[in-house]
Amino acid sequence: MIDRILVKNLLVRGILGIKSDERVKRQDILVNLDLEVDLRPAGRSDQIDDAMNYRTITKQVINLIEGSSFHTVEKLATEIARLAVTGYPVLSATVTVEKPGALRFAESVGVTIVRTATDFAE
């Protein structure tokens, strides 16, 4: 099964980085989510109760970014993935976090990670 929910180019302002100005000044953070989810129940029933609420997960991602101050894009991406695979019926989460304008002459710089719930089992 490869059903997916995609959230493309979610632009949020937050604290992210290691330089002193990045620790106090909010900057643009671009997030893309590719969530592997079983969409068959909603596809069969056409009922919203059978669908995963992508608005709820997106709001949680926004709140996470706005309320955090991570040093690395890797940590932010990991925490977004954790939120998705441990709080929702998401089989795997591919998360891309980018910092637009972070490098001179580059549109953005970032990372892409793929995680499942087993990555966070303790």
pLDDT recorded at residue 109: 94
The backbone region for 119, taken as left when phi is positive above 0, alpha when psi lies in -120 to 50, beta otherwise, is alpha
**Burial of 59: CB neighbours in 10 Å, binned 0-12, 13-18, 19+:** exposed
CATH of the domain at 8: 3.30.1130.10
In degrees, rounded to 5, the angle at the alpha carbon of residue 17 between the alpha carbons of residues 11 and 22 is 85
pLDDT recorded at residue 1: 64
* Domain span including residue 34: 4-120
Specify the number of domains making up the chain: 1
What is d(CA 58, CA 13) in angstroms, rounded to the nearest whole number? 14
Per-position pLDDT tens, the chain of length 122: 689 999 999 999 999 999 998 899 999 999 999 999 999 999 999 999 999 999 999 999 999 999 999 999 999 999 999 999 999 999 999 999 999 988 889 999 999 999 999 999 97
pLDDT recorded at residue 98: 97
